[in-house]
Amino acid sequence: MPDILDEAKELEIRHRQAALDNALQRTEPEQQTLDGRIICIDCDSPIAHARLAAKPNAARCVHCQLIEEQKHGR
């Protein structure tokens, strides 16, 4: 019989994976400019192609992402 902690761990893994899958598939229309480029949700600057190649679902430019991570102590 599986331990309740093992079951909780498996449930957490499934939920986390589902959230990650949803985030990876997400492209918010309000982030796109007229020329099809993705813009940063904080500063409205276009997100660099290199960043989008590395992280296709990026919502922030590198600069704004660093600021966001510093705010949250990451």
Residue 29 contacts residue 39 (beta carbons within 8 Å): no
Question: In DSSP terms, which residues pair with 32 in a beta bridge?
Answer: 38
Q: Which residue has the higher pLDDT, 45 or 33?
A: 45
* pLDDT the model gives residue 73: 74
List Cβ neighbours of 60 (8 Å cut-off, separation of 6 or more): 40, 41, 42, 47, 68
Q: What local confidence, expressed as pLDDT, does residue 65 receive?
A: 93
pLDDT of residue 33: 65
- At residue 64, the pLDDT reads 93
- pLDDT, residue 27, reads 55
Mind listing the pLDDT tens digit for each residue in 38-47?
888 889 899 9
